Structure 1
Amino acid sequence: MEARISKQRVAANFSRAASTYDSAAVLQNRVAARAMMGLSTDSCPDYVLDLGSGTGSQTSLLSSHFPESYVTGLDLAMGMLKFARSQCDSAAWCSGDIEALPFKSNSFDLVFSSLAIQWCSFETVLEEIYRVLQPGGVFVFSSLTSGTMAELGEAWQQVDSNVHINGFDSFEKQKQWILDSSFKQQSFKQQTETLYYSDLFQLLRELKALGVNTVHSRQPGLMTRGRLARLQEAYESFRVDAGLPLSYQVLYGILRKPDHA
C-alpha cells in the first residue's frame, strides 16, 4: 500500500463515528446495495458472515434477505458493535480482526463484506475467508483500489509534502492475488463512484462523520487556518457544475470456494 495503515486507528476512528456514520454513509450505502446484487436468490445459506459490519445496517439487510439463515456481524471497532447491537437483534455480533477470524474452518456458506477489507492485507483476507468458507461457499464483496480520493490527494500536494489520504493496492495487484488464490473467480470489476459537495468544509465534515479521515500511521501537521485556506483554494480547481467531486475506485467481486476444496 502507498501508506502503512494502522488498524488500531481504523477501529478507534470508526468507534467514534458510530453515532454519525449512517447519516453520512451515502457512498457506503450505494456501494453495499450494488455489492448485494451479487447475492444468490436461488438458495438460502445456513450460515452467513458480514465482515466489517459497522453499524449493522447491511447485516440487518442480510438477515432480511436470508430470513432462515444464522447471520453473524463481525467488526474490530467496539463502538460500532455496541451501536449495531442496539439497532439490530436479528443477528449475532462478534468482535474480531478480519485478518485472523475467530471462527473454525468451514463455518460459513456465505461471507459478505462491503468497504471493509481495504484496511487489511487482501492476500491474508483471501486466505482467511477461504479457510472459514465451506466447500462451495461464496465470498461477495466490495473494496477500494488505488486512485481513491485522488482529488483530495492532489489538492493536499499543493499545500505540503505530507501524506494525507489512505493508499490502497492497485486493481491489477488485487486481481493477481485472486488468481494466485484457490478461489474460483465469478466476477471481479472496478467502477468509479463519485460524490459531489458544495464546499470543502462539507466534504471534510462528512469524512469525519464516517470515521474515514486519515488513518495511516504517518502524522501530518496541524490543520491551521492558513493551511485550510490553501487546501480550499487548491480543491476549487476541481469544481464542476455538480460541485466539488470526490471519487472512489471501487472493486466489486464474487468468488467461490471449489466444491471439493
Structure 2
Amino acid sequence: MEEIKKAIQAGKPASEVHNRLKVDLGKRLGFATLFRPSGIPSFLGLALINYDHFGTDSETAYNTGHNAAIQYALRTDSDLAVAYAMNAFADHFLHDHFSSGHLRVPRRQLHGSTLNVADACSKLMHDEDSCIGLKVSNQNGDSWTAYGDSRLFDDVSKRHREIFIKAQQASVDEIFQAWRYKIVPPTFKAWKYAPTIQSALSPHQPLAPLFVMSTGEDKKPVLLRRRNVSDRKTKDYISDWTYTGTVIKCRWSGRWNYPMSLDE
C-alpha cells in the first residue's frame, strides 16, 4: 500500500504500481501454495475454478456469505468482530461484482481446455474489460463507468469508488444491526448500489466484448469471439476460432500491454 500511496501523491495512476505488485504477489502465492496436500488447490489451482467471482455466481457467493454472517450475528453469544470477519469474506464477492472485468465474462464457458488456455482467454477478456471499463447502472438509477481490478484508486474511478463505498457500508451496517438489534433485512441493500449485469451486457457498450454467448442453428449455446481481437469497437463475431489461436493473437497484438485503450 505504501508504494500505491506514493504513486497517488506523485500524481501517477495507482493501477500502474498495483499491476506490477499484483504480478509479483501472484508468483509468490503460487509458489507458497504449490505443494499443498492432495485435495487442497494451490493459489493457481483456485484461479482455474474461480467461477464464484464472476457474474451471477458472485451474487450467489455474496448472498450466501453475508447471510451466514447475519445469522451468526443474531446469536446471543455472537462476537461482533467475528461477524465482521465472516462478512469481510463475503464482501470480497461483492467487490468482484463492482469490477467491470467480472460482470460479463462467460467464465464457466471459458474453462476446461488442454493446458488451461480457455482460462487464459477468460483472463484476456477480464483484463480488457477491467482496464477500459464498462458503462453500467444500478437499481438506484445511478449510471457511471465501472472499472476493474487495479483501477479502484485511479482518478477515473472516483464516481465508481463513491458508489462502491456506499455498498460496502450498507453491507457492514446490516451486520451491526443484526448483532445489536437482532434485525434481519428483507433484502440486502448492497445490491441497490451494485452495477447490474444487464447494464454491463448492453449491446450499446463502446467496448465490444471479446467473447459473447449466442445460440447456434441447432438451438444450442455457442461461444463466439470477436473476429478481429485488436478491433475493440466493432461487434463482429465468429464461431470458428480456437483458444490457443486467440491467446497468440492477443499477445502478439501488443494491445493487452498495460495501459490498454479502446482505440487502436
Structure with the greater relative contact order (CA < 8 A, sep ≥ 6): 1 or 2?
1
Task: State whether TM-score is above 0.5.
Answer: no
Scaled by the length of structure 1, the TM-score of the pair is 0.25
Question: Which of the pair is proportionally richer in helix?
Answer: 2
Question: Which of the pair is proportionally richer in strand?
Answer: 1
Scaled by the length of structure 2, the TM-score of the pair is 0.25
Look at both structures and tell me which one has the larger radius of gyration over its CA atoms.
2
